[in-house]
Amino acid sequence: MTTRDTPMSKTPHFEELQQRLNLSRRSFLKTTAAGAGIAAAGGLVELKFGKEAQAFAYEPYPLDNQLETVVTSCAHNCGSRHMLVAHKWKDVIVRLSTDDGRYQRGGHFGKDGNEEPQLRACLRGRSYRQRLYSAERLLYPMLRVGERGEGKFKRVSWDEALTFITKKMVHLKNTYGPTSILDQSYAGASYGVLHKSDQIEGLLGRFLGMFGARTSSWSVPSYQATTTSSRWTFGTIRDGNEDDTFAESKLMIMWGWNPAYTFHGGNTFMYLRMAKQRGCKFVIIDPQYTDSASAYDAWWIPIKPNTDAAMMAGMAHHIFSNNLQDQEFIDKFCMGMDAGTMPKWAPDSANGRENFKDYILGKYDGEPKTPEWASRICGVPAKDIVKLADMYAKTKPAALKASWAPGRNAYGEQYSRMAAALQAMTGNIGKLGGCAEGVGKGWHAEAVAYPYDNYANIWFQSIKSDRWAHCVLNYPNVKREEIGLWPRQDDTDGQIPNIKGIFWQGSDWFNQLTNINKEIQAIKKLELVVCMDSTITPSGIWADVLLPVATHFERHDVALPWYKGHYYIHRPKVIEPMGESKTDFQIFTELAYRLGGDVFGKAYNPKANRDYFNVNDNVDEAYLREWWEGKVMHHQGVDMSWDDFKKYGVYKFKLDRPHVAFQDQIEKGVPFQTPSGKIEILSSELANIDDWTKTKYGYHIPSIPKWIEPWESLNSPKTKKHPFHLISPHPRWRTHSIFNNCAWLRETYEQEVTINAADAKKLGIKMGDIVELWNDRGKVVVPVYVTERCMPGVLVLHEGVWMDLDKNGVDRAGNPDFLTLDNPSPAGAFAYNTVLCNIQKTDLEHRPGWDKLSTSRAHIFRRDD
Ligand SMILES: Nc1nc2c(c(=O)[nH]1)N[C@H]1C(S)=C(S)[C@@H](COP(=O)(O)OP(=O)(O)OC[C@H]3O[C@@H](n4cnc5c(=O)[nH]c(N)nc54)[C@H](O)[C@@H]3O)O[C@H]1N2
Ligand SMILES: Nc1nc2c(c(=O)[nH]1)N[C@H]1C(S)=C(S)[C@@H](COP(=O)(O)OP(=O)(O)OC[C@H]3O[C@@H](n4cnc5c(=O)[nH]c(N)nc54)[C@H](O)[C@@H]3O)O[C@H]1N2
Ligand code: SF4
Ligand SMILES: [Mo]
């Protein structure tokens, strides 16, 4: 998945397409009326459907040598990408195993190693059969019959479902204009090259843009803070090393990073273990003593959530005031780190006069950012701040891996920029064993196998993603800065989008964005909500139309690594699509033909014919082969043919040298991709902005990293009413909301809120009690987990559980997004971890899952009574 690099407005291509489509209401009615659905220039095409869903083949239990073995990969936005090996009996997958070394070229059972490590699946991946064949699997199109959100649907034919959608789309576009449909496609399927969901490169954006009605969502929930920060500082988001380089570090500072739970690469843990074996010291800065901390016997520094930038400023103070910085590195590569590295133009710019060192030393505000100053804010003893700063400045090479959660905050970008300043002042950028992450994107994959041309990213307005509800509820009385409107180069600049419909493709965003109660109000105002997914989801419950999508076992594709890893995994169609499901690409192509006949259909999917909805295998193969031969073999120097790749199932790249971000900048003097060619601690872009309301940020952002107090935190007066700070990290047992309904995984965990033992005692709360958490935005009910491993004042509740409302609007499942706030940080970061709330024992009903039979038993082993 990518974030936007070059915003694209209407293109000459696009104008031409729209003219040829001439999508007036009349021409649309003509197209559809011609034949209950499909009768474009190419003639009538009959809709055909796959077979009915198949049951498990339990009997007779097939032996291994009776099964066919197919190499494929796991999917989704889970932090990694691993091989799954499907063992199938006829058209049913009866077992899943994983990489054991033998599937690659020159491979054999057990082959493993540093260069070409095995890609071994985690528990989630290995449980995939339960998702594939789950009771919640969506097998045919459905239309809503009850109120929105009531969850009442009836089965309809594809033709009925698509006719419903096309009519509404044309109505919305004609009545409310080109901003009327909101693209909420996300990363559920970003890591395939053909059947892709994504904000930028995805199939939905291309489809809605070409249709001529698309409001886009530009900020990413994961890491918008560090995306913007890395663009300002380094000029790119490719600031990541490959994981094997961590094995070379002497000091590993894991800042808000818990790879034992939250994956960031497939073999991270293995390489970190190698580092440990070689004597690397580990430090963890996190409100929780995590499993990563215990696995590496790390020095745990508990910190008040959202105060990281202050602690980092305290470290910088110690480094500067003891002259521990790498001054040679600073002088050569940095801009604005200190008075000596200020650009010549700086004094002319109101926001550009300050340098970082003088800010840290207190020259501008009379407040030196000493370790003692920092300690009062972040709660970490000053002596520990000094000790860590000393270790970091004196150990070479040292990796400060600044993960994303501490940036998923109010002013999260300041944390990310402050981290970059520390990495730079210690000279740990571009060096093996050092680290500039950040975003952490390492090796670059060829990621798109369908046309990625001038049509690829057309949009008519683009807003900060989690302001859609605010926009809908307040339209037209919304200021552009409230929704972070991306500037446009034409006369529509600043126009507030009139959103009347939403498409979800590869996203469960209704369940995953901030402030769900506000979303619930907003969605009632919409006229069209379409959910494309392979299972029923909590978002789907709020849709008007559910379209069944074939999973990655049921279509042909190639899998990409996540942010780390350098390999491709072939994903053949392992089984036929279940029920009546179709691929996203089939659905959009069919919709394009219905909306605009051959002109739209062919432009959207040039290799396909009118019958693609029924026959897609050869077309998909042609796209993939072209991608492999044109991009992978040609651009990436791969000598394996497409047919051989399909035979082996995986291609693992051997890199000439370990992949270290910015190595050439440091070693060969290649300029950084910033305007100045330097590491911009003072950002040229920010220093030269006068009217912030005209930028996508909307609000002022200092041009150097600074500590800014978040809206809510343990230091805020609001703690009188809501004394606990809630953070919501990512779950080990789910990929966000995916796998929530997997019974095998649920046996191993419970969605529960973690609380410090002393806090629990004060409140009379015991392990396993059911509690309610609330603030002004909502209320959720969950069991409680009492531990010393979480710092006082902090609660931890994992994101992604499937919401389950009672009649009073209380969430019985414990989804933290009923408590989160939809105010994004100026740079676009979702403030998921900026939440105050309260907690007490409750008699309210708790429901651990939609399927009560799959209730977890984990709590039985944890009760202390
Ligand atoms: N198993 C699993 N892995 C995943 C995912 C998943 O859903 N499941 N999702 C993937 C995706 S899309 C993403 S974006 C990444 C997210 O990756 P991260 O952002 O790194 O992960 P989180 O789990 O949110 O948080 C990591 C740690 O940060 C700590 N933390 C929270 N707030 C603060 C703070 O204010 N300060 C400090 N110092 N620490 C804090 C938490 O206690 C937690 O231990 O993970 C990816 N990997
Ligand atoms: N409180 C709190 N909330 C958070 C976070 C947090 O830290 N705290 N983290 C946020 C982050 S970083 C993220 S990335 C988001 C994730 O938010 P989402 O992306 O909404 O989460 P997923 O559960 O991964 O949903 C992806 C959906 O895509 C579907 N899908 C998978 N493959 C396909 C396909 O091929 N086609 C189609 N049409 N659908 C497919 C899946 O079935 C699933 O329903 O959550 C965010 N929410
Ligand atoms: S869920 Fe992610 S980490 Fe687990 S096996 Fe699948 S790809 Fe790998
Ligand atoms: Mo994410």
| Ligand 1 center from residue 258 Cα (angstroms) | 7
Q: Which of 25-34, 345-354, 519-528, 635-644 has the lowest mean pLDDT?
A: 25-34
Stronger pLDDT, 350 or 513, i.e. the higher one: 513
**Residue finishing a domain among 53, 78, 96:** 53
Q: Are residues 672 and 647 in the same domain?
A: no
Is residue 169 pLDDT above 90, yes or no? yes
Atom 28 of ligand 2: nearest residue by CA position: 506
- 478 and 431 in a single domain? The answer is no
Same domain, 284 and 146: no
Q: What interhelical angle do 308-321 and 371-378 show, nearest 10?
A: 170
Which residue spans within 201-357 are E strands per DSSP? Answer: 215-217, 251-255, 281-285, 299-301, 334-335
Answer yes or no: is 699 within a domain. Answer: no
Nearest to residue 460, comparing CAs of 6, 7, 830?
7
Report pLDDT for 746. Answer: 86
**Contact between residue 217 and residue 462 where contact means Cβ atoms under 8 Å apart:** yes
CA distance 649 to 651: 7
* Segment 311-317 mean pLDDT: 98
Ligand nearest to the backbone CA of 82: 3
In angstroms, the CA 5 to CA 525 distance is 32
Residue 256 lies in a domain: yes
| Whether residues 322 and 341 fall in one domain | yes
Structurally, the chain folds into a number of domains equal to 4
pLDDT for the residue numbered 22: 66
Amino acid 8: pLDDT = 47
pLDDT of residue 62: 77
Q: Is the minimum distance from the CB of 532 to ligand 2 under 6 angstroms?
A: yes
Q: Which residues contact 531 (CB under 8 A, 6 or more apart)?
A: 504, 537, 539, 540, 542, 543, 545, 546, 547
Lowest pLDDT segment from 198-202, 419-423, 648-652, 672-676: 198-202
| pTM (two decimals) | 0.94
Of the listed ranges 8-12, 75-79, 245-249, 665-669, the least confidently predicted one is 8-12
Instruction: Report how far ligand 2's centroid is from the alpha carbon of 332 (Å).
Output: 42
Between 432 and 41, whose confidence is greater? 432
Closest CA to 697 of 826, 824, 825: 826
Residue 194 scores a pLDDT above 70: yes
Type and span of the H or E element at 774: strand 770-775
378 ligand 3 Cβ < 6 A:
no
Do 614 and 676 share a domain, yes or no?
no
Give the mean pLDDT of 694-707: 97
Q: Please check whether residues 601 and 673 belong to one and the same domain.
A: no
Burial 287-324 (b: 16+ CB within 10 A, else e): bbbbebbebbebbbbbbbbbbbbbbbbbbbbbbbeeeb
Mutate which of 404, 409, 534, 736 for ligand 2? The one with the most ligand atoms within 8 Å of its CB, which is 736
| Spatial separation of the C-alpha atoms in residues 188 and 710, rounded to whole Å | 30
CATH of the domain at 213: 3.40.50.740
Better-predicted residue by pLDDT, 66 or 759? 759
What's the CATH number where 390 sits?
Answer: 3.40.228.10
* pLDDT score at 59: 56
Query: Is the beta carbon of 78 within 6 A of some atom in ligand 1?
Result: yes
Evaluate whether residue 123 is within a structural domain: no
Q: Is the CB of 512 under 6 A from ligand 2?
A: yes
What is the whole-number distance in angstroms between the Cα of residue 39 and the centre of ligand 1? 49
Q: Whose CA is nearest to atom 6 of ligand 3?
A: 125
* CATH number reported for the structural domain that contains residue 731 in this entry: 2.40.40.20
**516 alpha carbon – ligand 2 mean position (Å):** 15
Give domain status of residue 780, yes or no. yes
Same domain, 722 and 674: no
pLDDT score of 355: 95
Relative to the CA of 73, which ligand 3 atom is closest? 7
Q: Is residue 87, in this structure, part of any structural domain at all?
A: no
Q: How sure is the predictor about 721, in pLDDT bands with cuts at 50, 70 and 90?
A: very high
Q: What is the pLDDT of residues 339-376, one digit of tens each?
A: 999 998 876 556 778 999 999 999 999 999 999 999 99
Please check whether residue 817 lies inside any domain of the structure. yes
- Which domain-ending residue is among 38, 53, 68? 53
For residue 334, give its domain range.
Answer: 231-443+662-694
Q: Has residue 67 been placed in a domain? A: no
**CA torsion through residues 290, 294, 295, 300, sign:** positive
pLDDT at 347: 62
In this structure, are 581 and 484 located in the same domain? yes
- The domain boundary residue, chosen from 53, 73, 96: 53
Percent of the chain past pLDDT 70, that is, above it, reads 92
**Confidence at 852, pLDDT banded by 50, 70, 90:** low
More confident residue, 612 or 12: 612
CA of 513 relative to ligand 2 center, distance in Å? 9
767 and 666, same domain (yes or no): no
Question: Of all atoms in ligand 1, which is nearest to the CA of residue 290?
Answer: 44
Kindly tell me if the per-residue pLDDT of 9 is higher than 70.
no
Q: 216-220, 417-421, 456-460, 604-608: which has the minimum mean pLDDT?
A: 456-460
Ligand 1 touching residue 290 (CB < 6 A) = yes
Identify whether residues 271 and 387 lie together within a single domain.
Answer: yes
Q: Do 678 and 726 share a domain, yes or no?
A: no
Angle at 828 between CA 827 and CA 830, to 5 degrees: 130
Q: What is the pLDDT of residues 80-100, one digit of tens each?
A: 999 999 999 899 999 999 999
Nearest in space to 139 (alpha carbons), one of 462, 533, 417? 533
Cα 500 to ligand 3 centroid, rounded to whole Å: 36
Give the residue from 512, 442, 413, 556 showing the smallest Cα distance to 818: 512
Q: Looking at the structure, do residues 298 and 435 belong to the same domain, yes or no? A: yes
Summarize the chain as % helix, strand, coil (round to 5).
Answer: 35, 15, 50
Q: How far is the CA of 137 from the centre of ligand 3 (A)?
A: 20
Contact between 148 and 529 under an 8 Å Cβ cutoff? The reply is yes
Is any atom of ligand 1 closer than 6 Å to the C-beta of 222? yes
Q: Which residue has the CA at smallest separation from atom 29 of ligand 1?
A: 256
Residue 72 within a domain: no
Q: For residue 785, name the pLDDT band (cuts at 50, 70, 90).
A: very high
Distance 648 CA to ligand 1 centre (A): 34
Please give the average per-residue pLDDT across 109-129, as a whole number: 94
Token output for 786: 């009492």
Q: State whether the beta carbon of 740 lies less than 6 angstroms from ligand 1.
A: no
